[in-house]
């Protein structure tokens, strides 16, 4: 049987881990990874694209696996020098990482698109699968909180996810054009499955789904859409998803994630520790696969990727 063709929707760490498993499972031409750009912002005059960079660094084995962002083996001379002259030093930019931000900022200033410069960087770093920004236009996630509206990085980094969230907005989303290559894949009959990776549903996946035409296109096409729950045993593996759910009045459960995506997905992979929720999730009208979804090793990433591909194939029959 030929390998399936998969479109993966990804945010930061969790999404990139599964994307790596998929990269090791599929021929490069069979995998396209769409990265959220709602986290992006202009800082110190540089255009910073964290979720694109987490996917790029992870698939090129440059990522710092413990930190979850930026490069491994990083030095911080730029930040030290910036701090000494009184620059904004709440957002840490490693010396190697700075090369990425300067290179991208220069390319964008020369009029190149984010898709184009991302493709060039991925090719230069020897990454086989396509990595697509969800849009080339500027979309910015705003976190609505008890402390007022916060630009995403102020919420996530400067304020360490402490403010209680009340909602989210994606400024610019109404005028943003969904990535054309992504829409061609969704609207064509090229895909065997679409994987919603275990990223934060609210600030990593919803920006992609909120782009004009994306939800309608996903619901109109026939290949199975499967999600992997980012919530395991009531907790997010990394990041504020569970805290956000509690603040939004939602239970931080795999069932609540399935309900969040219920109008979109055909199936969901939940972790073994959440096995008792499988029946309630199936009652929503979707398929459920119970597996180990916590990815500690490369083998875990590959195993989960294989489970997602098999799950998609079964649903697609
Ligand atoms: N996250 C932090 O918690 N602290 C940081 O200082 C930080 C710097 C940073 C620099 C470049 C980059 O690509 C990501 C960075 N992140 C940092 C992560 C960033 O906030 C992302 O938006 C999160 O990974 C959420 O997706």
Give the residue, by CA position, lying nearest to ligand 1 atom 16: 69
Cβ 40 under 6 angstroms from ligand 1: no
Pairing between β-strand 140-145 and β-strand 165-171 as defined by DSSP bridges: antiparallel
Cβ 207 under 6 angstroms from ligand 1: no
pLDDT digits over 177-198, tens only? Answer: 999 999 999 999 889 999 999 9
Q: What's this model's pTM, rounded to 2 decimal places?
A: 0.98
Cβ 156 under 6 angstroms from ligand 1: yes
287 alpha carbon to ligand 1 midpoint, in Å? Answer: 34
pLDDT digits over 37-63, tens only? Answer: 999 999 999 999 999 999 999 999 999
pLDDT digits over 68-117, tens only? Answer: 999 999 999 999 999 999 999 999 999 999 999 999 999 999 999 999 99
Task: Give 45's DSSP letter.
Answer: T
Alpha-carbon distances, residue 221 vs 36, 43, 194, 216, 316 (angstroms): 21, 38, 10, 9, 12
């Amino acid at each position: 049987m030929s390998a399936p063709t998969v479109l993966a929707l990804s945010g930061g760490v969790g999404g990139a881990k599964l994307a790596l498993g998929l990269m090791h499972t599929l021929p490069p031409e069979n995998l396209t990874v769409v990265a959220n750009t709602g986290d992006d912002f202009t800082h110190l005059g540089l255009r910073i694209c964290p979720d694109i960079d987490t996917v790029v660094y992870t698939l090129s084995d440059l990522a710092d696996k413990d930190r979850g962002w930026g490069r491994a083996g990083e030095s911080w001379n730029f930040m030290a020098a910036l701090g000494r002259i009184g620059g904004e030093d709440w957002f840490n930019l490693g010396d190697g990482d700075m090369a990425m931000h300067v290179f991208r900022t220069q390319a964008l200033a020369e009029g190149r698109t984010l898709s184009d410069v991302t493709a060039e960087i991925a090719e230069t770093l020897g990454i086989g699968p396509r990595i697509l920004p969800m849009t080339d236009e500027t979309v910015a996630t705003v976190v609505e909180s008890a402390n007022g509206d916060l630009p995403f990085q102020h919420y996530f980094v400067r304020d360490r996810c402490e403010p209680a969230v009340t909602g989210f907005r994606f400024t610019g989303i109404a005028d943003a054009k969904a990535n054309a290559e992504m829409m061609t894949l969704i609207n064509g009959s090229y895909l065997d499955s679409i994987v919603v990776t275990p990223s934060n549903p609210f600030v990593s996946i919803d920006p992609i789904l909120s782009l004009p035409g994306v939800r309608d296109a996903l619901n109109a096409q026939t290949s199975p859409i499967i999600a992997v729950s980012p919530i395991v045993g009531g907790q997010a593996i990394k990041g504020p998803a569970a805290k956000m759910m509690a603040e939004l009045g939602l239970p931080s459960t795999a069932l609540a994630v399935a309900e969040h995506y219920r109008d979109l997905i055909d199936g969901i992979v939940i972790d073994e520790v959440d096995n008792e929720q499988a029946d309630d999730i199936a009652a929503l009208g979707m398929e459920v696969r119970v597996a180990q979804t916590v990815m500690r090793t490369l083998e875990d990433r590959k195993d989960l990727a294989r489970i997602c591909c098999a799950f998609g194939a079964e649903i697609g029959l």
